[in-house]
Structure 1
Amino acid sequence: MSRRTALSIALALCAGSLVALTATCGGVYVENDGETVVLGNRYVHRTWSKAAFGTTEIVDERTGLRLGASDDFTLELADASSISSRDLTVTDVRVAQVPHDGRAVTFVLALAAPSPLGGAPTPLPGVAIERTYTLWADVAGFQVDTILALPGAYTDYTLDAVAVPGAIAAAHHFNAGYDWRGSDSFYDWQPTAAPFNGSHAGQDHRVTTTGANLDVTAQWLSLDTDGDLATTSDPRVFQVLQRVNYDSSHAAYDGAVGRVHVDMADDLVYLGPFEGDIHLDNPLPGPVRARFVEPGETVRLERVFTGFGIDADDEAWQHFRYLARHAWSKWRVGDVVFNSNGVDANRISTGAKDDMDLAETVRQAAIAARIGIETFVLDDGWQAASGDWCPDSPDCPEPRKATTGFPDRFPDSEFSAVRGVLAANGGMRLGLWMSPMHFNPASHAYQGNPTWACTPIGDGLVLYNTADPDSSSNEAGLGTWDPSAIGPDGVLIDHIESRIRRAIDVYGARYFKFDFLAWVDCAGGADAYEYREEFVAMVDRVIADHPDVTIQIDETNDYRLFPFESVARGPSWYANGSPRPNEALHNLWIHAPYVPGATLGQGAFARAGQGWSADYLGAVMLGSHVTFFTDLTRFSEAEIDAAARWVGLYKKYRTRFAMMSFPLLDDPLPGDNWTGLQWWNAGAQRGALAVYRQDAADDRRVVALRGVRGDRSFLLRDAETGEAFGTFSAAQLRAGITVTLPQRNSARVLLIDRV
């Protein structure tokens, strides 16, 4: 075979149906010998059988870890029957090139009937399932996607499984809901309507369960392969479930096989914002809910990332590298943001809407530019009415204008004047708050399409909202849509998407904060699972077409998209109000190293002038999705200067501060101890370290760093002054360095570089 012919075959195999041979493209190879398929890179490879589909082997090339056969997935139906991946056979294998040196292998699977002659099973007509495994050249792990076309009512489904006998499992369950779980107490959220206190009551933001046999609510499963929790240098296998933190999101290990699955028996109903006071668990021994697939329908199941670490610290690094290089679009990680929520004295509003108009935009933007803010987000006051999502202006007046007497907030309905203000103040990007799944009953969208409301909850909220249009969140609108509903203007979800796209194309928005998300059951329409999936699919379409647009999900309540269904798409707004420094640090520390701090939005300088120095507040700010959430005109000149100095420091080194971080020392929640965060690029062996002396009596601590490899030396420099802190060997950093802070409630920020 000539070289040109071989190259042509290889290129064809990179995108198309894979019949035979081997294709290596961009560091990822695919092999098909007719009976098995292999997908691999220099770190890992995975082999599948085609006749009775399933994994036959996974190998971590770096450690020599070799895993045996497992069923990749299992489906359990309401009639108590079950289908394993081994019950299906491969009818086609498709290979696609994906951005950044990745390859996606899709197995088209059909149910198989046993051969009467004892040979290979015979595929039955029709596609039942498509499984897509994506691997990139620079990550030790596989992204796993499932499309289900087999009709049925599914009460439990395993999304991926790995055979790791003799391990110890750690299942990490993540809670959002700063509104319910204020971080000032481990038991801050206690639903008041006992005994309905559910599985999340009293929990911190991350809860870890360990054992040799477990099946619990969790979204991250870590398998310690040597079965000894006291060691951290042995290989790790982990699975991350990109699904909301419903009780039904499970991680399981039975002593031989680890898996992530969805167990519908744990779900009854989720009550949105009312969950802060009441949570209803399924009281029956079996499931009362199911995931339905109708004939002719396809359902996209939740994504999983199955990864491999050479040790405990490499586990989180591999997942962060997957997020940062592949899962995330081009949203601006490390962006510095202002949100106008705090500009609210009810000057031109009556409830939750802020008081932003063009004049106030001019005032706030001038200070924002001095601080160095890059994205300027208008909170809920910008819109005339949720559902129409047009600027409050002469062409789109607020429905209550005649009764409130409030003037139009903006002079035009395309935000031309606002964009001019932002352009004149450093070229800040425009961001907008939206509640895309809710509406104001006075909106034109609802008035022209009343069938778009979700029955019965939406109809009830319309009556409530109409009776009291002015107070609290009623001012923006509490009506609830049914995403699958059809009205005179078409399908509701299409209307919502068109308004988001209009905001991008016409208003110039490049950042959205999506709020008021609750997945509910609509009679005759979408159920709670379909509701969430319709929203997520819409978000994915928008991101695909506009990868530079940031989608932030308000995760201050549970059961929205947190953790990884949200984290895999962009930042969250995590903490309403004004967290104290120990609370803000706790939010970052407890999620590390699994949830990148750069995705957790909380108020920067939120406690300015309340007893903590501006320098301390600036150091606390570094680990989060930096967001100023207060009225900037309340800052003193000295506070503005300090904020500008710390924002400048953050922007100068944001490639470091936006990295994954390791939690060091002690949990900062008590407020009277030392704590630390280490942002670390494990590949480049560089990063930053922040050490915080809270209200602690001792003035020094020994701080041991994580993820430091090899025997090279490292230079540590003060991030503010550039002065050398010292040169240390890798062994010294691992053993610990002494940091001294003479003042209580102070911090030291150091840069770490290999020399």
Structure 2
Amino acid sequence: MQGSVSSGAAVLGNGVVERRWTFTAGQATTSSWRDLVTGGQWALPRSEDFSLTVDGRTVGPASGLTLVEARAGSVAVDRARPGAAGGRQVVLRFRLDAPRVEVTRSYALFPGSAVMAVGTTVRNESGSTVQIGDHALEQLDTPLGGEGEVRALQAGATYQLEHLQLHRERAGFDHEGEILRVDDGRGAGIFLINGRRSAPSTRAGRTPVAGGWRTWVGAQPQRELGMAPILIVRPQSQSNRILNPLWPIAGHVRRIGPGNQVDLGRAWLGAYHGGADAAPAAWVRELQEHVMPPLPGDVQQNTFHPFPDGEDSNERAMATVADAAKAVGVETLVLDDGWQGGPGGLAGDWRMDPARYPDRDGDGVVDFAERLERQGIRLGLWMQLALFHRDSDAFRQHPQWACAPLGLVGAAVEDYNGLGFWDLNQPQLRAHLLSAVDRILAQTHARELKLDNMTWMGCVGHDFEDMHDAWLSLVREIQRRHPDVVLQSDETVDMRTWPFESAAIGPSWFEDDHLHDGVGLVANHLYDLWSQAPWMPLSLVGLPALHDLPDGVSVRDVMPIELLARTTFWADLRKLGRDAAEVRWWLRYRAEHRQALTGISHPLTDESPLGEGWTVLQAGDGREVHLVAARQQAPAAIRTVRLRRLDPQLRYAVRDVRSGQALGAWSGAELMGPGLRVRIDRVGATRMLAVVAAPEPSGPPPCSSTRRVTIHLGTGGRRVRSARATVNGRRVPTRIVGRNGVRIAFDGRGPGRVRVRVQARTVDGRGQATTRRYRLCRPGRR
């Protein structure tokens, strides 16, 4: 790792990618951004990293801003993300004199990663409010002029059918989106990730500059006026964003009061090579290792739909639910709305109802929680921290905590169950909510919180962006206090943080199973996953497993789809009957192959699943992958698909997961080239296939006269960059063959047994080692 600053330059690199800055007369520009594996140079000289509009004036690191400090150091340790260790950072601090504003940019890079993160904060040091308009969070002037691909990933399944906007352009463009990839036409290039929430104001684009293109992701806040209460958003397929019909005139801007600071959010810039699929693979790895907290990858039972609004939510009934869930392999039971209550227990107060969930022995932990611990089941609790009930003690004693005036309106509306929303910027309210979370977790030993109804709009003195920032900082403080507690965001209605702000928190309650006209359950769930792949780990996408299965759809048809998602049962598992054995089988398989099912996923069919044709999704890459194939109403019983990111030199065995039937064996090159013919005889059926690399050969025959041997390493398709080998402890020459082969010679050794040790490093910095033993019949020739 390299992260250093000198009087005229700075560098941040890790052997995979590297960025260099040049400092001249108070200006700071990127002078180099390289893919160190291929040598690709993706930056033009004097590239400005960002831009910012302050009070109507656009400034940047070489146009209006003055560099006042540059420093390098280690990335601070985050208790909630222990995997994000060993990183280096470069921090650049700029000043604008009129109005007096300070801008801080923090760049971070971790070992082995091809992706560099950057965060931007703006502090108002003037005596009056400043306005922040359009801004680019990350940009690079690049010679890359190939096709640009922009994706906008959206949630809000209750009121929105389409979850993906996809644009491909060869000229300049400016689109809504969080993901921008630009290719050189030979399978290499850069990608930019916008960490802001999905919204019309979240943008990705490129504009021509001398010698190339300025490629950027950022925000144009004036495209929005605010957010509407979701209750008034009708009909379906509409979002709760209020667009500015006069854009680019007027609209919303970020306002920063004197002495205040705002965090504009994070962005990422990455390099890739080896084909377009390498870009999302690099991003998902960065996301899972350095952005997301560690997750258990568990199977859940949620009680909301079996017991709506807390009906039958009590210790006795939930004990029978827990028993049924445990019997089929569920690992976490989430008590949804209804566990809270009793004196001082409404929304806003947050106490577990002692009448329904007592603590009989007075040890401070409710008996039901202790029962689950004995069963080996994790407890989760639903909470809506942004909302309060009008009869809660917290609101009655502190009405000034409400978000006035709009937050008070909801409390007065019967259709909204008497719920209003808080002004989350108020320090005393935040202390109250954090204390309530601390208390509930101590009383229940809960290890997950489902955060629902993330509802906010503007308050007096705080606009909806302020409320958004306050929510994120509150959630991060909960994670800091309780790093072992999973926080799940409900993105079905409010769509406040999806995609990557939500992923940085934890898994999502993505789909509320509100089916749209003409779209069946299988198509709906397939589309949810297809639309988010390959840039989002599908194990974050929560779907309602087995809820209201329509006639003609079996458990066997649905479970392969649910295994790719965050498997969450809404059905009352006590009523499974003969289907219990089928569910148990699939959950056992999921537990045995958890790691292979929770990484990168690739859609292998281009057409939308909403079209009722074929859909094939691939989970994983490298040595073990799974295919979920669904034939909805397609007339053809066979579909040929090309798999992604296999090792072309390995041989893969393909089998049907449920029946165990062997379907054949092919090389990785064959599966990625001509492809695999998938057959489903019944319309509406689904099947899962396992594609697993054959065990590597143990070497030459028991007694061999061979002079040399080639050992293929299990690198998951990554190319080996360097290797060393020893035979019986003595160093021998090596030669890299293909992507992952290391050839060594036995010259002068034998007869007898030899021990070969190979250590290699792949192009992305990962280490790989293996040991083989051979028996030679006679010495190899020198």
In 1: Cα distance, 2:404 partner to 2:100 partner? 35
CA contact (8 A) 2:139 2:216 kept: yes
CA deviation digits over 1:611-642, x for unaligned, max 9? Answer: 1122111112111110001222332x212221
CA contact (8 A) 2:557 2:687 kept: no
1:266 deviates by 0.3
SS of the aligned residue for 1:89 comes to: strand
2:257 match: 294
CA contact (8 A) 2:158 2:514 kept: no
Structure 1 residue 42 corresponds to structure 2 residue 2? no
Letter in 2 for 1:621: E
Structure 1 residue 628 corresponds to structure 2 residue 575? no
In 2: Cα distance, 1:307 partner to 1:326 partner? 14
1:559 deviates by 3.6
In 1: Cα distance, 2:648 partner to 2:667 partner? 9
2:499 match: 563
1:428 match: 377
Q: Structure 1 pair 303/531, CA: closer, same or farther in 2 (3 Å)? A: same
Structure 1 residue 57 corresponds to structure 2 residue 45? no
CA contact (8 A) 1:676 1:689 kept: yes
Q: Structure 1 pair 291/609, CA: closer, same or farther in 2 (3 Å)? A: closer
1:584 match: 525
SS of the aligned residue for 2:489 comes to: strand
In 2: Cα distance, 1:331 partner to 1:624 partner? 13
CA contact (8 A) 1:218 1:250 kept: yes
In 1: Cα distance, 2:142 partner to 2:331 partner? 47
SS of the aligned residue for 1:167 comes to: coil
CA deviation digits over 1:659-711, x for unaligned, max 9? Answer: 12100125463464221111123xx4432222222233322221211123443
Structure 1 residue 718 corresponds to structure 2 residue 656? yes
In 2: Cα distance, 1:431 partner to 1:739 partner? 39
Structure 1 residue 314 corresponds to structure 2 residue 278? yes
Q: Structure 1 pair 85/630, CA: closer, same or farther in 2 (3 Å)? A: farther
CA deviation digits over 1:496-529, x for unaligned, max 9? Answer: 22222222233211111111112311013x2111
In 2: Cα distance, 1:462 partner to 1:718 partner? 54
2:473 match: 537
**TM-score normalized by structure 2?**
0.79
Q: Which stretch of the first structure deviates more once superposed, 94-103 or 314-323?
A: 94-103
1:257 match: 214
CA contact (8 A) 2:652 2:693 kept: yes
Structure 1 residue 439 corresponds to structure 2 residue 388? yes
Q: Structure 1 pair 249/279, CA: closer, same or farther in 2 (3 Å)? A: closer
SS of the aligned residue for 1:128 comes to: strand
Letter in 2 for 1:657: L
SS of the aligned residue for 2:205 comes to: strand
SS of the aligned residue for 2:390 comes to: coil
Letter in 2 for 1:748: R
Structure 1 residue 239 corresponds to structure 2 residue 192? yes
In 2: Cα distance, 1:411 partner to 1:506 partner? 9
Structure 1 residue 70 corresponds to structure 2 residue 70? no
Kindly report which structure 2 residues correspond to 1:216-231, keeping only aligned pairs within 5 A, or say none. 216-226=175-185
SS of the aligned residue for 2:510 comes to: strand
Letter in 2 for 1:282: N
In 2: Cα distance, 1:80 partner to 1:339 partner? 50
1:213 match: 172
Q: Structure 1 pair 741/266, CA: closer, same or farther in 2 (3 Å)? A: same
Structure 1 residue 612 corresponds to structure 2 residue 550? no
CA deviation digits over 1:512-567, x for unaligned, max 9? Answer: 1111112311013x211111111101111222332221111111125410111102
Letter in 2 for 1:743: R
In 1: Cα distance, 2:532 partner to 2:196 partner? 16
CA contact (8 A) 2:604 2:615 kept: yes
2:682 match: 743
Q: Structure 1 pair 279/289, CA: closer, same or farther in 2 (3 Å)? A: closer
Q: Given the alignment, which residue of 562, 580, 586 partners 1:646?
A: 586
Kindly report which structure 2 residues correspond to 1:395-434, keeping only aligned pairs within 5 A, or say none. 408=356, 410=358, 416-424=366-374, 426-434=375-383
In 2: Cα distance, 1:493 partner to 1:597 partner? 32
Structure 1 residue 499 corresponds to structure 2 residue 436? yes
CA contact (8 A) 1:694 1:744 kept: yes
**TM-score normalized by structure 1?**
0.82
In 2: Cα distance, 1:288 partner to 1:112 partner? 24
1:137 match: 111
In 2: Cα distance, 1:608 partner to 1:79 partner? 55
1:463 match: 412
CA contact (8 A) 2:423 2:459 kept: yes
Q: Given the alignment, which residue of 628, 643, 649 partners 1:690?
A: 628
CA contact (8 A) 1:131 1:146 kept: yes
In 2: Cα distance, 1:409 partner to 1:320 partner? 40
Letter in 2 for 1:447: R
1:388 match: 349
Give the strand-richer structure, 1 or 2.
2
The alignment-based identity, stated in percent, is 27
Q: Structure 1 pair 225/519, CA: closer, same or farther in 2 (3 Å)? A: farther
CA contact (8 A) 2:102 2:124 kept: yes
Q: Given the alignment, which residue of 707, 719, 723 partners 2:645?
A: 707
In 2: Cα distance, 1:609 partner to 1:518 partner? 32
**Structure 1: where are the runs of 5+ without partners?**
1-27, 114-123, 183-202, 227-232, 346-351, 395-407
SS of the aligned residue for 2:117 comes to: strand
Kindly report which structure 2 residues correspond to 1:592-611, keeping only aligned pairs within 5 A, or say none. 592-608=533-549, 610-611=551-552
Kindly report which structure 2 residues correspond to 1:316-331, keeping only aligned pairs within 5 A, or say none. 316-331=280-295
SS of the aligned residue for 2:87 comes to: strand
1:457 deviates by 0.7
SS of the aligned residue for 1:342 comes to: coil
In 2: Cα distance, 1:577 partner to 1:740 partner? 29
2:320 match: 363
1:657 deviates by 1.1
1:454 deviates by 0.6
1:399 match: none
1:448 match: 397
SS of the aligned residue for 1:447 comes to: helix
SS of the aligned residue for 1:622 comes to: helix
SS of the aligned residue for 1:595 comes to: coil
1:211 deviates by 4.1
In 2: Cα distance, 1:558 partner to 1:450 partner? 24
Q: Structure 1 pair 133/276, CA: closer, same or farther in 2 (3 Å)? A: farther
1:578 deviates by 6.5
CA contact (8 A) 1:608 1:639 kept: no
SS of the aligned residue for 2:501 comes to: helix
In 1: Cα distance, 2:433 partner to 2:601 partner? 36
Q: Which stretch of the first structure deviates more once superposed, 303-312 or 713-722?
A: 713-722
SS of the aligned residue for 2:434 comes to: helix
CA deviation digits over 1:20-54, x for unaligned, max 9? Answer: xxxxxxxx222434311111112110011234122
**Structure 2: where are the runs of 5+ without partners?**
78-82, 516-520, 695-782
1:105 match: 89
Q: Structure 1 pair 110/279, CA: closer, same or farther in 2 (3 Å)? A: closer
1:63 deviates by 2.6
1:110 deviates by 3.2
CA contact (8 A) 2:525 2:561 kept: yes
Letter in 1 for 2:187: D
1:154 match: 132
Q: Which stretch of the first structure deviates more once superposed, 744-753 or 42-51?
A: 744-753
2:726 match: none
1:722 deviates by 4.7
In 2: Cα distance, 1:632 partner to 1:597 partner? 24
Q: Structure 1 pair 108/671, CA: closer, same or farther in 2 (3 Å)? A: closer
In 2: Cα distance, 1:491 partner to 1:309 partner? 47
Q: Given the alignment, which residue of 488, 505, 512 partners 1:552?
A: 488
SS of the aligned residue for 2:316 comes to: helix
